[in-house]
Structure 1
Amino acid sequence: MKEHALFLSLGFTFNEQKLIEEAQQYIAIFEKIEEQLAGYSVNSDPRQIQAFNSHVYQAAVSIWGYKRKVLGLILRCEIRTNNYPLLVDHVSREAAYFAKRLKELNEGKLQPLPEAIIKENVFFLKIMADHAKFIGHLLDPSERKLVEQAREFSHDFDQLLYQAIDLDSMRPQSETPPLLDQFLDQNRVSVVSLRDFKKTARDLIEACRIKSNIHPLLADHTFREAERFIEIIDLFEENLTNGTPTPGQ
């Protein structure tokens, strides 16, 4: 969330000082939350952790509202910004996801039904597809090979996303989705490939060896999210084998 606020602030034009200041306030809010988090451990009082989760939930809901406000301003052409509308929508979806996860933790909802695995994959497949599109558009046009690779990843993850939506539609009510293990395996192969592409791009950007408008932290940010998706897929597969699917909470 802190990095989202930074990316948005970097994309605003100079005359949007109020929006920049709001973004900077969210950077400070989430930095403070990070500092508070360092004081907790697995042995902390559950009531304190629950109160902390509620505090972070409120911050996540607040930054979601800020992101949606910015998106509305862009779509109504009330501001001009270097932030793509899809990128603003993308980071708002991630804020909503984060807030939902925190709420579920505090309600003790740690083990979703098997069919929820597909919905989790739909969310992350859309995130990965968006990343590929952003990379393709933020690379300099002269980086033709990398731009083409990004477009191929965008197409591949769009197809995986549609496939996941179709699989969810075919799922019998209250039953484990069919071919779920095959579905997860296929997703992992594609995410690992995209993760490796992002890692290469990140390293090249940090070394100033490719031309782009991609901030090094943004390159690392998208790499870490691919790593997270792989972890979640592995956790789902592990727990499917044991008969108790759980998310990577």
Structure 2
Amino acid sequence: MANPIVSRSLYEIEFWARIMKEHAFFLSLGFTYDQKQLIEEANQFITTFERIEERLSRFTINSEIRLIRSFNNEVYQAAVAIWAFKRKVLGLTLRCEIRSNNYPLLIDHISREAAYFANRLQELNQGILTPKADDIIKENVFFLKIMADHAKFIGHLLDPSERKLVEQAREFSHDFDQLLFQAMDLEHMRPHSETPPILTQFLDQNRVSVTSLRDFKKTARELIEACKIKSNIHPLLADHTFREAERFLEIIDLYEASLESVNY
């Protein structure tokens, strides 16, 4: 029988290594022609995560746990390294030492995702698989912020003439900001004695909103790929944000299953 830590580790790395590689690509596209050193550093990270993806293909769910823990540690170092690069770029941007086409919020956004990935690898190597109620709320706070950011990026990267789509993106941004604030309120007020009905309702509400945003992203992706809307959104970025919404829905399902199986 496969070790759940092994299968979950491979699952996390398969998803997040691709996300990290794409982050490096998006950053490289946003740098100006004279920022050659930063472009080169971004390209090195593309290579790093391509190698991780290639090595990942050699593992199976029946691989030895010690080998997976060692691989997790190596990938953790790469995740920490790209996090440091992103934070360096953010600092340069905020101090106006460089000017690029990468929004500061976008750089902060992708650095949060790198930190999340690194933290997940550490947790898995510590044997942490089943979430606690605290983790459910914190994870939703993280992903709700990610979804709110996506809506803002989409709204700003669409051509202003795409008024209807811009307005839809703004509405999603507002909705997810409200869900985020609600999640933060729940995080502060939740009593020590766990209340599964409240958490289940919380997850159900998030699922409905994330599903709507996921469908909006899917439509936008298809329109961008078909060149039917005007925007500065790279087709890969459209697909990237769609996959992250899909991931959030998977995590909501995972947490709902854990609530049903564990008596808090």
TM-score by length of 2: 0.91
- In 2, Cα distance between equivalents of 1:74 and 1:37: 34
For 1:79, the equivalent position in structure 2 comes to: 98
Q: What code does the residue aligned with 1:149 have?
A: Q
Q: What code does the residue aligned with 1:80 have?
A: R
CA deviations on 1:99-133 (whole Å, 9 max, x unpaired) are 00001101111123212100000000000000000
For 2:260, the equivalent position in structure 1 comes to: 241
- In 2, Cα distance between equivalents of 1:244 and 1:69: 44
- In 2, Cα distance between equivalents of 1:10 and 1:244: 48
Report deviation, 1:175. 3.0
For 1:138, the equivalent position in structure 2 comes to: 157
Given that residues 202 and 216 in structure 1 are in contact (C-alpha distance below 8 angstroms), is that contact kept between their aligned partners in structure 2? yes
- In 1, Cα distance between equivalents of 2:195 and 2:110: 30
Given that residues 6 and 24 in structure 1 are in contact (C-alpha distance below 8 angstroms), is that contact kept between their aligned partners in structure 2? yes
- In 2, Cα distance between equivalents of 1:233 and 1:56: 25
Quote the sequence identity (%). 76
Change (3 A) 1:233 1:244: farther
Would you say 1:112 and 2:112 are equivalent positions?
no
Would you say 1:93 and 2:112 are equivalent positions?
yes
| SS at structure 2 position matched to 1:41 | coil
| SS at structure 2 position matched to 1:115 | helix
RMSD across aligned positions (CA) = 1.2
CA deviations on 1:7-58 (whole Å, 9 max, x unpaired) are 0000000010000000000000000000000000011111111110000000
- In 2, Cα distance between equivalents of 1:166 and 1:177: 16
- In 2, Cα distance between equivalents of 1:186 and 1:101: 25
Q: What code does the residue aligned with 1:100 have?
A: N
Given that residues 158 and 230 in structure 2 are in contact (C-alpha distance below 8 angstroms), is that contact kept between their aligned partners in structure 1? yes
CA deviations on 1:63-107 (whole Å, 9 max, x unpaired) are 000000000000000001000000000000000000000011011
For 2:210, the equivalent position in structure 1 comes to: 191
- In structure 1, stretches of 5+ residues that fail to align are none
Structure whose residues are more often helix by fraction: 2
- In 1, Cα distance between equivalents of 2:256 and 2:113: 23
Q: What code does the residue aligned with 2:87 have?
A: R
For 1:15, the equivalent position in structure 2 comes to: 34
Instruction: After TM superposition, list the pairs within 5 Å mapping 1:97-176 onto structure 2.
Output: 97-173=116-192, 175-176=194-195
Q: What code does the residue aligned with 1:242 have?
A: S
- In structure 2, stretches of 5+ residues that fail to align are 1-19
Would you say 1:50 and 2:94 are equivalent positions?
no
Q: What code does the residue aligned with 1:187 have?
A: N
- In 1, Cα distance between equivalents of 2:197 and 2:253: 18
Given that residues 126 and 161 in structure 1 are in contact (C-alpha distance below 8 angstroms), is that contact kept between their aligned partners in structure 2? yes
| SS at structure 1 position matched to 2:58 | coil
Q: What code does the residue aligned with 1:99 have?
A: A
Change (3 A) 1:80 1:240: same
Number of residue pairs matched by the alignment: 245
Q: What code does the residue aligned with 2:200 have?
A: D
Given that residues 224 and 233 in structure 2 are in contact (C-alpha distance below 8 angstroms), is that contact kept between their aligned partners in structure 1? yes
Instruction: After TM superposition, list the pairs within 5 Å mapping 1:198-217 onto structure 2.
Output: 198-217=217-236
- In 1, Cα distance between equivalents of 2:170 and 2:96: 27
- In 2, Cα distance between equivalents of 1:136 and 1:105: 36
Q: What code does the residue aligned with 2:51 have?
A: K
- In 2, Cα distance between equivalents of 1:94 and 1:44: 27
TM-score by length of 1: 0.96
